[in-house]
Amino acid sequence: MMRAAGAWFLATAVAHGLRYAALVWYADRLAPWWLEALTTALVWVTGIVAIAVGIAAAVTATAWLVEMRRRAYGPVRDPRSRAGLWVGALLVVVNFFRLPVYLEELRRASTRAPSRSDLRRWWAAWAVNALAVAVALWRGSGEGPQAAADTVLLTALAALAAAWAVRETRGVMRSFSDPSPRFTRRFIAAGILEASATRKD
């Protein structure tokens, strides 16, 4: 689902990019009806599907977070309630501040986790995405053809930022399944010491 969300966000960015190119090219003359219809349809179809798939991906990622925390804190219970995690992860604006906390807690409790720099990069991607969406919505409230064209371009950039954020999210999710570097180094060091002791014997 995360891969599908990233793909549809990229498709949305391309569709809006084509729409913006058509608006710029025919800024001083009437565009062909078929081009107007095609680019408009692409923008609407990719945008609607991307939103739907994005919501499904958010639900999938939240379910993953709840399950990973349950495993990390087991056999004791997660100190945070499942309902609280779902609300904090899915409620817009609130999740911008709560999700980093949930992931940092999971990172500390798990033996397999990303580094703090990976989590900072993930948060930065979502911050850029949130800013891009906010700017696009602000510009969309304007009137006139220039405001409409600017909104199309800004929406394309917001979709690209969303694709980047999804990519970083997938990386963080994978890292919780990979051996942590600090534990890997310990195992390698232990293996070297054991091999050295065997040679001496």
Secondary structure (H, E, C), 140-162? HCCCCHHHHHHHHHHHHHHHHHH
Average pLDDT, the chain: 85
- Summarised one tens digit per residue, pLDDT across range 94-127 is 988 999 999 989 988 888 777 888 888 999 999 9
Q: What is the pLDDT of residue 178?
A: 64
Q: What is the pLDDT of residue 141?
A: 82
Provide the pLDDT confidence category of residue 179 given band limits of 50, 70 and 90: low
- Residues making up the chain, counted from first to last: 201
Q: What is the pLDDT of residue 60?
A: 94
CA torsion, ordered 193, 194, 198, 201, to nearest 10 deg: 70
Quick one: what percent of the chain has pLDDT higher than 90? 49
Better-scored residue on pLDDT, 153 or 193? 153
Provide the pLDDT confidence category of residue 27 given band limits of 50, 70 and 90: confident
Contact 149, 23 (CB under 8 A): yes
Whether residue 22 is predicted with pLDDT greater than 80 in this model: the reply is yes
Which sign does the torsion angle of CA 101, 106, 108, 114 carry?
A: negative
Whether residue 80 is predicted with pLDDT greater than 70 in this model: the reply is yes
Lowest mean pLDDT among 35-39, 50-54, 191-195: 191-195
Q: What is the pLDDT of residue 61?
A: 93
User: Which residues span the domain enclosing 62?
Assistant: 2-200
C-beta atoms surrounding 118 within 10 Å: 16
Q: How many domains does the chain have?
A: 1
